[in-house]
Structure 1
Amino acid sequence: MTDRSQSQGSRALVLGATGGIGGEVTRQLLAEGWHVRALRRGGAPRPPFSEPGVEWLDGDAMRTSDVLAAARDCDVIVHAVNPPGYRHWDTQVLPMLDNTIAAATMHHATVVLPGTVYNYGPETFPLLRHDSPQQPRTRKGRIRATMERRLLDASRNGVQTIIVRAGDFFGPQTRNSWFAQGLVKPGQTARIVRVPNAHGVGHQWSYLPDVGRTMVMLIARRGTLDAFSNFHMAGHWDADGTQMAAAIARVMTKYNVDVKTRRFPWWLVRAASPFVTTLHELREMRYLWQQPVRMDNTHLVETLGHEPHTPLDLAVHATLDGLGCLPGKPGAKGSVRASAAEQA
């Protein structure tokens, strides 16, 4: 647990607060007594998407002056913002990060970045350490690796950086995830689970509340961390690609629902990818489902003493509930967010 008294009066700027990971970190910072400021075009979103207690500012992460102003008096900047969907990565991702670095430099703030596995190529698989070399094979991976290099350079000039890398997100507050877009369908009772893995291939999942909790715990210890710190979470390891589907089936059995497992229709993604940007990106990331990719959390455990870890069935139940996939709860709950901080 963090020392809540140390958080009183601390202020964080969250970029991407209406997204999955940004929203989760926002809620957990608020719970620890932080003042949270969020930047969004149009200011505060309408209920139920507006998190109580957040100071919403009207602004654009692409505009340097907006980010500089929003970060005033902030101790931490959580950079959890990406272009919506998969559009404009080439032109928007790095300028947004540069604005965050400029604000952190001006206001002496710590930058916190949710990392991805896109940065790594197959030569580093199957086990990724926090210091494994980054040799991305995809366009998106090269952009993510460039982001981290820029943060490393900034850390040498006084901008502390904390990166937390986790597996594929799932949780009750996000629809923009493989769990919600591939395995089940939000708003529909989960009767069929579509499995993207190649046969027998393991895959790593991370429950978003656990990821958010980990980030907040590291933020609380930022005074003891290096100028550039990179942490990996172990999350939930599905050793053969069947255990997440089995967990969904166990939860649904409690509601007398028989779940059938199907293969994810990669053939459809391949056929439609020339015409649909999102499907093109999903196809590019298919290699992450064709070979096991697992993260070593040794450095994280050495730093925190443990990794926050919700039991799988409890995490899956909460996720299905939040997505509106349990019987008698048609439609996803209003708190489920259309994430701009997606992870494929």
Structure 2
Amino acid sequence: MNSSKIALVIGANGGVGREVSSALKRHGWQVRALVRTPPKDANAEGIAWLQGDAMHSADVLSAAKGVDVIVHAVNPPGYRGWEKLVLPMLDNTIDAARASGARIVLPGTVYNFGTDVFPLLREDSPQHPCSRKGEIRAEMEHRLKEASRAGVRTLILRCGDFIGPHAGNSWFSQGLTKPGKPVKTLSYPGDYAVGHSWAYLPDVGETMARLLDREDELASFDAFNFGGYWLDGQGMLDAVRRVTDDPRIALRRFPWWLVNLAAPFNETLREMVKMRYLWKKPAKLVDEKLVAFLGGSPYTPIDDALRTTLTSMRCLPTQAKSSAKPLLV
């Protein structure tokens, strides 16, 4: 247990930030949370909530005084404002970590890898991104690596698309399914045979906490791939049918044509189109390093993860439909 250690989580209201805050508390850490809108109770859930903006260096510096770890889990919502916001926020975190001597923890993505290294992504795979968002992600890791040479330690946990409670604008909750409604169809954004990496948010938080429990064993700049679940369209359909007990759920094509029509008028949709390449070719995170370090797989069974996800989305039917006949698709 790490009761004497303090972690600052920037973006604790988001999916990753919320889960890593909870996990660190379970592992005995003292947790501070820097958010724009803290709860009325400044110590809700045993966390010290601080009001501030990751774009304001003074806010980050003040919140990071005396901490051992800074979890940089803040992102512009809905893909908006990446060009102007992402790198300045990270620079503020780097400055604060340098001042406090803390290790930075970054939830990473597959965006910084190009199709030249698909389908198997390893921690040391070359980074040749094929999108502007990927270029920014690669630059984030470059800045962190440069900072590590000057004594700012970093841990990166690279993940696929998120599922789980509080996943926000995730592909699962906003693309494949519809919140607040029983699942009738799954709108798959790629070819049904193309696999995709999924990360269950509670597992991501727990894995970060387990890695930080052994912080002294980590390299000054260390990265791990969080493999999560590797499912193609049919695999995801089978899992959702099991969880909902509804074999009538059908697999459908995601309406990219509609997104393309609306994209010129919506920044989030424009960014979705740019990231479509991740649904055209498989990009699997190889997690041998993580599993070996932890001494086993850290992943919740997929049915349990989807059941929790769909419950949080209010999508599970009120009654099982085990007697329904399958729909051939």
Normalising by the smaller structure, the TM-score range is over 0.9
Structure 1 residue 185 displacement after superposition = 1.1
1:35 pairs with 2:35: no
Match of 1:95 in 2: 88
What does the per-residue CA deviation read over 1:193-249, in whole Å, with 9 as the maximum and x for residues that have no partner? 1111223111111111111111111111111111000110221111x3321122111
Match of 2:97 in 1: 104
Structure 1 residue 326 displacement after superposition = 1.2
Match of 2:325 in 1: none
Contact 1:214 1:307 (8 Å CA) reproduced: no
Structure 1 residue 259 displacement after superposition = 1.6
The within-5 A match list for 1:195-344 is 195-238=188-231, 240-253=232-245, 258-328=248-318
Contact 1:205 1:235 (8 Å CA) reproduced: yes
- SS for the counterpart of 1:94 is helix
- SS for the counterpart of 1:119 is coil
Match of 1:339 in 2: none
Match of 1:338 in 2: none
Mind listing any 5+ residue stretches in structure 1 that lack a counterpart? 330-344
Query: Which amino acid in the other structure matches residue 180 of structure 1?
Result: S
Match of 2:327 in 1: none
Query: Which amino acid in the other structure matches residue 302 of structure 1?
Result: A
Match of 1:341 in 2: none
What does the per-residue CA deviation read over 1:114-146, in whole Å, with 9 as the maximum and x for residues that have no partner? 001000110010000100010111110000100
Distance 1:258 1:242 in 2: 13
Contact 2:14 2:168 (8 Å CA) reproduced: no
Structure 1 residue 51 displacement after superposition = 5.2
The within-5 A match list for 1:143-222 is 143-222=136-215
Structure 1 residue 175 displacement after superposition = 2.8
Match of 1:19 in 2: 14
Contact 2:61 2:95 (8 Å CA) reproduced: yes
Distance 1:249 1:285 in 2: 27
What does the per-residue CA deviation read over 1:263-288, in whole Å, with 9 as the maximum and x for residues that have no partner? 11111111111111111111100000
Identity %: 53
Distance 2:39 2:78 in 1: 19
1:324–1:46 CA distance, 2 compared to 1 (3 A):
farther
What does the per-residue CA deviation read over 1:33-61, in whole Å, with 9 as the maximum and x for residues that have no partner? 2111111224x1369xx951111111110
Query: Which amino acid in the other structure matches residue 32 of structure 1?
Result: H
Structure 1 residue 301 displacement after superposition = 2.1
- SS for the counterpart of 1:327 is coil
RMSD: 1.6
Structure 1 residue 104 displacement after superposition = 0.4
TM-score by length of structure 2 reads 0.93
Query: Which amino acid in the other structure matches residue 155 of structure 1?
Result: S
Match of 2:47 among 29, 46, 54: 54
Structure 1 residue 257 displacement after superposition = 7.3
1:9 pairs with 2:4: yes
Distance 1:172 1:328 in 2: 19
Query: Which amino acid in the other structure matches residue 24 of structure 2?
Result: L
Contact 2:97 2:152 (8 Å CA) reproduced: yes
- SS for the counterpart of 1:274 is helix
Distance 1:52 1:174 in 2: 19
- SS for the counterpart of 1:141 is helix
Query: Which amino acid in the other structure matches residue 45 of structure 1?
Result: P
Query: Which amino acid in the other structure matches residue 281 of structure 1?
Result: E
What does the per-residue CA deviation read over 1:98-119, in whole Å, with 9 as the maximum and x for residues that have no partner? 0000010000000000001000
Mind listing any 5+ residue stretches in structure 2 that lack a counterpart? 320-329
1:320–1:207 CA distance, 2 compared to 1 (3 A):
same
1:69 pairs with 2:56: no
1:45 pairs with 2:22: no
Match of 1:121 in 2: 114
Distance 2:62 2:297 in 1: 34
- SS for the counterpart of 2:224 is strand
Segment drifting more, 189-198 vs 150-159: 189-198
- SS for the counterpart of 1:174 is coil
Distance 2:177 2:285 in 1: 25
Match of 1:332 in 2: none
Distance 2:39 2:236 in 1: 33
Distance 2:67 2:297 in 1: 27
